Amino acid sequence: MNAKEIVWIIIAIVVIGGGWLLLRDTTPADTSPIKIGFIGPLTGDAASIGENARAAVEIAVEEVNAAGGINGRPLEVIYEDGQCNGAVASNAANKLINIDRVPVILGGACSGETSAFAGAAEQSRTVTLSYCSSAPAISQAGDYIFRDYPSDTFQGAFAAKYMTETLGTQNVAILYAKSDWGNGIKDVFRREFEEMGGNVVAEEGYEQTSRDLRSQLTKIKAANPEAVYFLGYTEASIPGLKQAKELGLNVPLFGGDAWDDSKIWTDTGPAGDEAMYSIVYAPLNEEFRIKMKDRVGTNEITICSPQAYDGVKVLSQVMEKVGTDSEAIKNELYNTIYAGGVSGDRIEFDENGDLVGANYIVKKAMNGVAEPVQ
């Protein structure tokens, strides 16, 4: 090869290389929004919880986007109202999956919401991260179904131990909403309570939409329990607590985490005094408290809002690493450890997509306000 040929080869390499660099540099980066779905009760039963969770999600999204988004792409959430109703939540999920084609759904909140669309999400390989659903059956909902809120296998056992050891009750009655959440926690509680030597003297269920629980409460009073484990959402719990007082059911009433809605205690007034309930402990932080107050206008941070906030951060961390392919997101979630959230110091998922571990505290209502029991 002579000198002239070598020169031409060098020129060709420079031209081709320069052209490739020019092509690479002029290809615009994808700055389109990454859209994910949200499902929660924005109206109807538990609407206070859903709206508060939405506020937490909005704060988290603003923080993600202010920090540059996800690999330069802003995060955008499509909010859908699940109404704490399986059929409504299923329709909302079908829209998000088939029309909006989101890779991820953050939700639902009520267990009945998530259970209703988990099959469709699994079939379409749409990652679902629930921030509030706790029914034990969700553990078996599918490979694409996760939750950063603990299963009621923890809460039911905690309530049984608390009512046995702390309250010293041996004979209890159960009043529960006929829902995935109510049935799930009731079954765990009964099994654990009886294994500890306690007796369930009455078990009465009611439709979630019911607002008159007098019949069930009358039967419970006749069974002469030492305490009542009352599982209900906001709109049934308010009349239920008042009716228990009217009927003279003067025994401790102990509820589940759905009672962590200030509307219950402001609306029941004296009828709610001394009622207690269990709730997942969340460490929170002052910055989150301030931002929530600015957003909702009060100091209230309801059940599941910390998990909704952290859910956005977990998903953002995962998509920053693996992109928006749903299978890649799913696989990475199983390997994810998220530290320093407001709902817990450490978030990781087990082989069922469930949150690993849970801590509970008890709150007691008095004068329209529920405060932690010291």
Same domain, 137 and 157: no
Same domain, 190 and 215: yes
Same domain, 68 and 117: yes
Same domain, 230 and 368: yes
Show Cβ contacts of residue 54 under 8 Å, excluding neighbours closer than 6 positions.
38, 40, 42, 79, 308
**Tokens linked to 287:** 């910055």
Same domain, 111 and 58: yes
**Tokens linked to 133:** 């659903």
Same domain, 144 and 188: no
Tens place of pLDDT per residue across the chain (374 aa): 555 554 444 544 544 444 444 445 455 778 899 999 999 999 988 899 999 999 999 999 999 999 999 999 999 999 999 999 999 999 999 999 999 999 999 999 999 999 999 999 999 999 999 999 999 999 999 999 999 999 999 999 999 999 999 999 999 999 999 999 999 999 999 999 999 999 999 999 999 899 999 999 999 999 999 999 999 999 999 999 999 999 999 999 999 999 999 999 999 999 999 999 999 999 999 999 999 999 999 999 999 999 999 999 999 999 999 999 999 999 999 999 999 899 999 999 999 999 999 999 999 999 999 999 97
Is 153 in a helix, a strand, or coil?
helix
Q: Which helix (H) or strand (E) holds 291?
A: helix 286-296
**Residue 200 belongs to a domain with what CATH number?**
3.40.50.2300
Same domain, 262 and 174: yes
Same domain, 62 and 93: yes
> What is Dmax (Cα atoms) for the chain?
109
Same domain, 99 and 119: yes
Same domain, 265 and 201: yes
What pTM was computed for the model?
A: 0.86
- Cβ-contact 252, 168 below 8 angstroms: no
Which tens digits make up the pLDDT trace of 60-115?
Answer: 999 999 999 999 999 999 999 999 999 999 999 999 999 999 999 999 999 999 99
Same domain, 224 and 366: yes
Cis preceding-peptide flag for 108 (omega within 30 of 0) = yes
- Give the total number of structural domains in the chain: 3
CA–CA separation, 93 and 117 (whole Å)? 6
Same domain, 157 and 171: yes
Which residue range(s) make up the domain with 11?
1-29
Residue with tokens 């450490």: 346
- Cβ-contact 236, 210 below 8 angstroms: yes
